[in-house]
Structure 1
């Protein structure tokens, strides 16, 4: 067995594997002997079939199989020993003149090599790290929402101030037909809410979508349309009222506070707002972190320059799936997956440069924390360590779960590293401003 490599350039190589008769013949002979022992051919006793007949019937197929096994085993060992960082899998070079009747064989494989590059996390960028604040407007609205939610709900026949109305938005041309419930206070203009006053079930109100809400994204919910159709949407829609709901707001007293958070946790309106602010900003932090992670990813893909063995990868994509692709289809698939591949390489480089690894104990602790949170949501505030660890053991016995949890742990490690090393601008915004930033509509 002889294996040699010719580096075509920094990203492409051809490996040649020479297989001699001595490499495969003993294996072929053993398999043929096993076939002879078990062959049931009419006219011959079991185990007494002439080897020439076994050779004629099965020889070529066994030769191909055993040569292929020897080939793959030695090629894989070579790639590991040489520590070659390859992309995709080796591609065999097909030749029309290949002769399986020869005793010695020579096989060529194309390799796509991973590029060498560096990642500068401290480089200049336009990434913004958002801190989302629950402002007074949001807190007051949330308090009013709580009072409404825990107040007394009554059906009304005529729309009055403070009522909600349920009904169906329609616009035939745009294919809009969506049932929703409207809070009159959400309209951008108080005049719009007045259009509903005095209306009854069955009445129809015609509205213009332009400027209907302070945030156009609200149209996505009430009309059930996609984000791309939201901005600048200027059409008339009809709203057919099918229910009028009135409510008597709940009193802000200790009974309500205890119902919301447990006995004695909150004792005043100020403490209620503080609790709402704390809970909201914890949720906002998760959303801000995810956007930061996504934005750093995009920035690294844009600013970390390296070439890929694109010709090789397109050729590999053609044959990698269950069904072969045309060159045009492979080109499309490569275009879709190129950024993902680039970030996989960048992420791997960042992990290697910063020695980011996951220990078994870290994974167990992370899983334990998730389980405790889930149990708390179902009212189990103080589970025993034995109960928690029993669930952890079951979860860790599932390979798919372990993979999913490992990805979460590594994502957290990457986030913390980026927060430490990426020179991002910081910006304090309210939630409405953050949503606009999510869709690229907020000026930095």
Structure 2
């Protein structure tokens, strides 16, 4: 067997594999001998079928199968030994006229080669690293939500600004008949609020759906309609009041603290505020980290310049999926995935150059901590090591789950690398201002 490579350019090559008779003949002969022992052909006893008949019936199929196996094994071995960094998979050049009666065969494969490039993490311009804090306003609002949640409802004679109103929305034409509990702050504008103030149980308020709520999702919930149904919906609905209540806030006392955090976990309003701030900011770290990861990814893709074997990859995509696609579809698919492919190559280089590794011990420990946190949510605060190890082993026996955890850990290690080496500027702001700055004022 002889394998040669011709580099077309820096990103494309053609590998030629020449297979001689001596490469496959012994194996083909052995398989045919085994076939002869078990062949069941009418007119002959098992094991006594003439070899010529066996070769005539099975010879070519066995030959084709063995040559293809030999070809794939040789090609994979060659790519490994030559340490060729290929993109996609080798593409066989079409051969419609293979003479399987010949003693030797030649096959050619197109290769797409990974480009050579350098990654510079230290950008000229700074990238913002957000430090999101829970400000006093957020903490006070959270405390009020807690007090409302654990408070009690007191019936009222008439609707006031802070009432909780239960009733049914109705419209015969649209077959709307839905009972909800609402508060006046959800409505858009003061006109609707004024229609409710002073109303009593049994009163009917007639409302127009257009511009009724600040958020269309609230209208969907109120009328129990789908997203498409509420688009440009402009009808009248009636709301018949069945209950009017006021929610008295729960006292900020030890009884409430114990309900929230367990006996003695929090013993004062000061400690409650500190706990809310701590828990909120832990969650904010994840959002800030994801934003930083997205921004650095965007920076790396936009500023790390290299060419790709686009023509080869487009051709490869035609047959890479479950269903074969045409050239136009493949081109569209390549354009969609090019940015992702570029980042995969950049990420791979960063992982190699910075020796970013995830061990099996890392994966096991992460699984244990994940399971421990989940168990704590259900009140199991002190599981034994034996119990954690057993559950972790079951989780990691699922290869998809083990791969997901590994990728998550790699992402965490890369994020730590970015924080260490990228040109970052820390910006501290409240969660409300973070949302406005990053996602727009919603």
TM-score range, shorter chain: 0.7 to 0.9
Within-5 A mapping of 1:28-427:
28-125=28-125, 127-154=127-154, 158-165=158-165, 182-185=182-185, 193-199=193-199, 202-206=204-208, 209=211, 218-220=215-217, 223=220, 240=239, 244=243, 245-427=245-427
Partner SS for 2:196: coil
Work out the CA distance in 1 between the residues paired with 2:400 and 2:296. 27
Change (3 A) 1:409 1:169: farther
TM-score relative to the length of structure 2: 0.88
Aligned residues of 1:167 and 1:239 also touching (Cα < 8 A):
no
Q: Give a deviation string over 1:296-343, Cα, whole Å, max 9, x none.
A: 212211221111111111111101123211111111211221122111
More moved, 28-37 vs 288-297: 288-297
Work out the CA distance in 2 between the residues paired with 1:8 and 1:157. 86
Work out the CA distance in 1 between the residues paired with 2:159 and 2:265. 37
For structure 2, the residue ranges without an aligned partner over 5 or more in a row are none
Aligned residues of 1:301 and 1:343 also touching (Cα < 8 A):
yes
Deviation at 1:270, TM superposition (A): 2.5
More moved, 301-310 vs 239-248: 239-248
Deviation at 1:390, TM superposition (A): 2.4
Change (3 A) 1:178 1:378: same
Work out the CA distance in 1 between the residues paired with 2:180 and 2:296. 37
Deviation at 1:125, TM superposition (A): 4.4
Partner SS for 1:6: strand
Change (3 A) 1:265 1:189: farther
Show the counterpart of 2:434.
434
TM-score relative to the length of structure 1: 0.87
Deviation at 1:246, TM superposition (A): 2.9
For structure 1, the residue ranges without an aligned partner over 5 or more in a row are 228-232
Q: Give a deviation string over 1:102-136, Cα, whole Å, max 9, x none.
A: 11111000001111111111113463222222122
Aligned residues of 2:16 and 2:107 also touching (Cα < 8 A):
yes
Work out the CA distance in 2 between the residues paired with 1:240 and 1:286. 42
Change (3 A) 1:24 1:311: same
CA RMSD of aligned residues (A): 3.4
